Structure 1
Amino acid sequence: MSVLRSSGSSVSCVQDQGSRPGYNSQQALADVITRTASQLGIRGLAVGVRQVRRWESANPPWPQPDVRRVLTHLLGQDVEDLGFTAPWGAGQGPQETGHTASTGAPVPWMRLPTVPTRTVLITQPATVSTDFETVTRSHRHLYWSVAPATLHPAVLEHSRLGCALLPEVTSATRPRLAAALAETYLLAGRIEFFDLREPEQASETLLRALQAAGEADDPLMGAAALAHTAFISGWAEDRDAAVERMVAARAYARRGPASAEFWAWLDAVEAECETRCGNTRIALHLIGHAEDVLADGSEHTTPPWMDWFSPTRLAAFKGNTQLKAGHIPQARETLLQVLEALPPESDKQRTVVLGDLAAVEVADNNPQPACAFVGQALDQLALTWYATGMDRIREVRRTLAPWQNEQCVRTLDDRLYDWGMIISALQR
């Protein structure tokens, strides 16, 4: 395999005399990086000889996030190990104070380890995969109640443990351990994107989930990781990237076997991306197809780790799309039914539904019930923080501007911007 090799503080494009040959020229390296970016669904990334030459200088510039993703995927090493120095210094992250735990103390940003690709030492018993899975499963359950800034460091540390164990197990144990590691990375990426609103970091973490899924040869986990990267592109309104990643996710799901629920979730993800990009007609068609898939059912079971989707969750997607499409009465009816059907453990989703119901009332020129729904959402956020739910509330507050001087809006502002809420939101 061709590699960049660290040489002091710089990076050289060299011919490695070891077991993995390097690139014969700077142009060859630039070409393979550009091709690999396209294969990973990164559009518009092109690296030239001049950029490679800069990497070979005494003080190579820190690569952009997409370039770092390609280098990590291509070479199997962290960029620091290739000779690059992060501008924020060793052991720190680009937003060192970005995570704040419930204690108020900063949580250091933790660099993700590279997923090992082959066994070099066997020292662990076969039971290690079961033990690792037990903790992974516990993290999955804790996600629905534990504060994300508290759970996230524990999940990342668990991923580090998995990467350390992976080279130390037998080939028979490795797929099961790798699958649990992939789930751990997937959970970390979900927390980073949905709870902490860190899409760039989530992209890198989900790439690790995809790598671990490959080690496990688990196509459904691979499909889930790819679909979550499509979420990130869709929310950034990059439709081309979102569609391309969904095509890849569906290709992996066909290797499944995927359950009806899994296929419906893929439709729902794509519908969310289309909605974010303004294509509500396409989104409603996808949701209708998902409803038909669920009604038909299938003989295959849904993986236990896919605990974030159900027919009720699909209806929540539908209500949001109806809202964005301007189908206000239908959206109100759908979302009220969802609110009634949500189970007690779906507190995070409840804040999103309440936010959408508030938006429905704003669209129907009803500021008082809109403020009441926002108040209920704030009550829920005080118990279970969810950045995506807070985003919905902020969107509703912006649309309430025409009623700025109404008492219900002023009362809402007093609640929304009190000391505790504003400090909590800014910390997170």
Structure 2
Amino acid sequence: MDGTQLNQRLQEHMTEAGLTQTELADAVNGYLTAAGHQGTVSDRTVRHWLTGKTRWPHPRQRAALGALFGCTAEELGFAPPAGRHTPTSTPEPPVLRRNFLTATTGTTAAATVPLFAPCPHIVGTTDVIRLRTGLDTLMTLDDRRGGHEALERAALNSSRQALDMQEQAASQRVRQRLFSIAADYTATAAWSAIDARLVGRAQQHLDRALYLAGMAKDPVAELRVWNSYAMLAHQNREYTKAVDAAQAAQACGITRRDPLFDSLAHARTAIGHATRGDRQTALRSLGYAHEALRKAERDVPRPSWVAFYGPAELSAITAIVRDRIGDSAAAEAASHRALASIPAQFHRNRALATTRLALAQLHQGDIEQACATASAAFDHMAGYPIPGRLRSLLGDFYRDLITLAPDAGIAREWGDRFRTEWSRS
């Protein structure tokens, strides 16, 4: 690599880790300081690495980069001066990719384990990145089995860890990022409680998460919290509050910069209007949601909690809105579209969409098909406890079933399975 050639390999690793030049400089300095050396790397230093002006960093800097990315300097695109024979070192495990959470499936608990032994004097970008990686693990666990108390406890423990690191933060920027991580973990705990229908705890967590998001000045975290407030208000049958919370999500600054978040906020508002029986306003909000999602870029880096949202989830929300305003045939079609594209690993979401499909079929009088479809929701959750939100929706299906067909044999059969699955969970 000559002095004018860009270091594409380093740039690719930075992009994958979501690091800016300043953030990489902070991360390297944090590593050097923890090792007892002076951290003198600046964003200009990183720029020299990227442009090729610096082809072979100082040995300590190479060691720091190797520890951060889990690569040798050569694998990061650097090359020693001609004629110099440098032994190839074995990189440490990449600290940017270590997970701090050991999560198991079934009914066993998820438990946090120590991320690292933090330097008592400074907490930098490296530590922030290490802590944030655990959110992805929690979201994967949620996708598989839904909200549960072990997930909630793990999220709260990690939030406390982020806040405990505040006193050792290297800068105000690091402190804000720690607040942001604490907000995300607390919002994850709230979401777990919402999915498990533990209403009181969910409210407490959301109040705390909103405060932390404000301290972090993080509009994405704020939108996440308002989105969850809307869902919680719906569980409490406070439908006007649900609309107000969804509209607060629309007002978050991130909706003006990223149409995907704008779409999510409008979709949540549409559900609120539909539940209140405001057909035209619900359809208008739903139209805004579809229009915004068409404008959203697919490959923009976003936090893992919003990975559930896209065309499949919007189709599932469309099914909810359509069914609540009496368009059951349109709701059935939307449910089929959702199920055709919801990723297989989203067990809970597929089970919810399947139950929505069964409700749309039931509301059209197709009793046998509705019962068969609703039974498939249990199959999607095979091996996992049924989370409270799904239990409640299946309960709604059963109540509508015995109202529409109280004497049908298939209704009694489905009721037997419903009680069996309920007791299993």
Structure-1-length-normalised TM-score: 0.66
1:193 is displaced (CA, Å) by: 0.5
Q: Which amino acid aligns with 1:138?
A: T
Checking the alignment, whether the CA contact within 8 Å between 2:145 and 2:348 is kept in structure 1 is no
Q: Which amino acid aligns with 2:186?
A: Y
CA-to-partner distance for each residue in 1:25-77, whole Å, 9 max, x for gaps? xxxxxxxxxxxxxxxxxxxxxxxxxxxxxxxxxxxxxxxxxxxxxxxxxxxxx
The reply to whether residue 262 of structure 1 matches residue 261 of structure 2 is yes
Q: Which amino acid aligns with 1:410?
A: R
State the match for 1:415 in structure 2: 417
Q: Which amino acid aligns with 2:258?
A: S
State the match for 1:131 in structure 2: 130
Unaligned runs of 5+ in 1: 1-100, 108-120
Checking the alignment, whether the CA contact within 8 Å between 1:322 and 1:328 is kept in structure 2 is yes
CA distance in 2, matches of 1:218, 1:279: 32
Q: Which amino acid aligns with 2:318?
A: K
Greater helix content: 2
Size of the aligned set, in residue pairs, is: 306
Checking the alignment, whether the CA contact within 8 Å between 1:186 and 1:209 is kept in structure 2 is yes
1:298 is displaced (CA, Å) by: 6.2
What is the SS of the residue equivalent to 1:382?
coil
State the match for 1:312 in structure 2: 312
CA change 1:317–1:299 in 2 (3 A) is closer
RMSD of aligned Cα (Å): 2.6
CA change 1:125–1:236 in 2 (3 A) is closer
CA change 1:123–1:423 in 2 (3 A) is farther
Checking the alignment, whether the CA contact within 8 Å between 1:193 and 1:202 is kept in structure 2 is yes
CA change 1:299–1:138 in 2 (3 A) is closer
Checking the alignment, whether the CA contact within 8 Å between 1:258 and 1:301 is kept in structure 2 is no
Checking the alignment, whether the CA contact within 8 Å between 2:160 and 2:182 is kept in structure 1 is no
State the match for 2:107 in structure 1: 102
The reply to whether residue 361 of structure 1 matches residue 361 of structure 2 is yes
CA-to-partner distance for each residue in 1:341-365, whole Å, 9 max, x for gaps? 2111221111111111111221111
1:259 is displaced (CA, Å) by: 1.0
State the match for 1:191 in structure 2: 192
1:376 is displaced (CA, Å) by: 0.3
Checking the alignment, whether the CA contact within 8 Å between 1:260 and 1:300 is kept in structure 2 is no
Matches within 5 A, 1:58-69: none
1:299 is displaced (CA, Å) by: 10
1:424 is displaced (CA, Å) by: 4.1
1:302 is displaced (CA, Å) by: 5.8
CA distance in 2, matches of 1:223, 1:393: 29
CA change 1:383–1:271 in 2 (3 A) is farther
CA distance in 1, matches of 2:175, 2:317: 37
Of the structure 1 ranges 406-415 and 313-322, higher mean CA displacement relative to structure 2 is found in: 406-415
What is the SS of the residue equivalent to 1:303?
coil
Q: Which amino acid aligns with 1:361?
A: Q
1:209 is displaced (CA, Å) by: 1.6
Checking the alignment, whether the CA contact within 8 Å between 1:315 and 1:335 is kept in structure 2 is yes
Q: Which amino acid aligns with 2:181?
A: A
CA distance in 1, matches of 2:270, 2:344: 26
Checking the alignment, whether the CA contact within 8 Å between 1:237 and 1:276 is kept in structure 2 is no
Q: Which amino acid aligns with 1:164?
A: D
Checking the alignment, whether the CA contact within 8 Å between 2:187 and 2:209 is kept in structure 1 is yes
State the match for 1:231 in structure 2: 231
Checking the alignment, whether the CA contact within 8 Å between 1:220 and 1:258 is kept in structure 2 is no
Checking the alignment, whether the CA contact within 8 Å between 1:237 and 1:273 is kept in structure 2 is no
CA distance in 2, matches of 1:172, 1:363: 53
CA distance in 2, matches of 1:211, 1:227: 15
State the match for 2:322 in structure 1: 322
State the match for 1:181 in structure 2: 182
1:295 is displaced (CA, Å) by: 2.1
CA distance in 2, matches of 1:133, 1:244: 30
CA distance in 2, matches of 1:333, 1:403: 23
Checking the alignment, whether the CA contact within 8 Å between 1:175 and 1:217 is kept in structure 2 is yes
CA distance in 1, matches of 2:246, 2:316: 20
Checking the alignment, whether the CA contact within 8 Å between 1:361 and 1:370 is kept in structure 2 is yes
Matches within 5 A, 1:209-288: 209-253=209-253, 258-288=257-287
Q: Which amino acid aligns with 1:261?
A: L
Q: Which amino acid aligns with 1:322?
A: R
Q: Which has the larger radius of gyration?
A: 2
Checking the alignment, whether the CA contact within 8 Å between 2:358 and 2:373 is kept in structure 1 is yes
CA distance in 1, matches of 2:301, 2:127: 25
CA distance in 1, matches of 2:277, 2:130: 45
What is the SS of the residue equivalent to 1:173?
helix
What is the SS of the residue equivalent to 2:205?
helix
CA change 1:186–1:369 in 2 (3 A) is same
State the match for 1:337 in structure 2: 337
1:176 is displaced (CA, Å) by: 1.9
Checking the alignment, whether the CA contact within 8 Å between 2:213 and 2:219 is kept in structure 1 is yes
CA distance in 2, matches of 1:374, 1:310: 24
CA distance in 2, matches of 1:396, 1:152: 28
CA change 1:219–1:143 in 2 (3 A) is same
Q: Which amino acid aligns with 2:260?
A: E
Checking the alignment, whether the CA contact within 8 Å between 1:238 and 1:277 is kept in structure 2 is no
Q: Which amino acid aligns with 2:393?
A: R
CA-to-partner distance for each residue in 1:174-229, whole Å, 9 max, x for gaps? 122222211111111111102x1022211211122222222221112112212221
CA distance in 2, matches of 1:410, 1:249: 43
CA distance in 1, matches of 2:151, 2:242: 28
CA distance in 1, matches of 2:298, 2:324: 35
Checking the alignment, whether the CA contact within 8 Å between 2:152 and 2:190 is kept in structure 1 is no
What is the SS of the residue equivalent to 2:143?
coil
CA distance in 1, matches of 2:363, 2:202: 33
CA change 1:302–1:233 in 2 (3 A) is farther
CA-to-partner distance for each residue in 1:154-187, whole Å, 9 max, x for gaps? 1222122222222331323212222221111111
CA-to-partner distance for each residue in 1:301-323, whole Å, 9 max, x for gaps? 46223222111101111111111
CA change 1:123–1:293 in 2 (3 A) is same
CA-to-partner distance for each residue in 1:354-402, whole Å, 9 max, x for gaps? 1111112211112111110111011223334332222221111111114
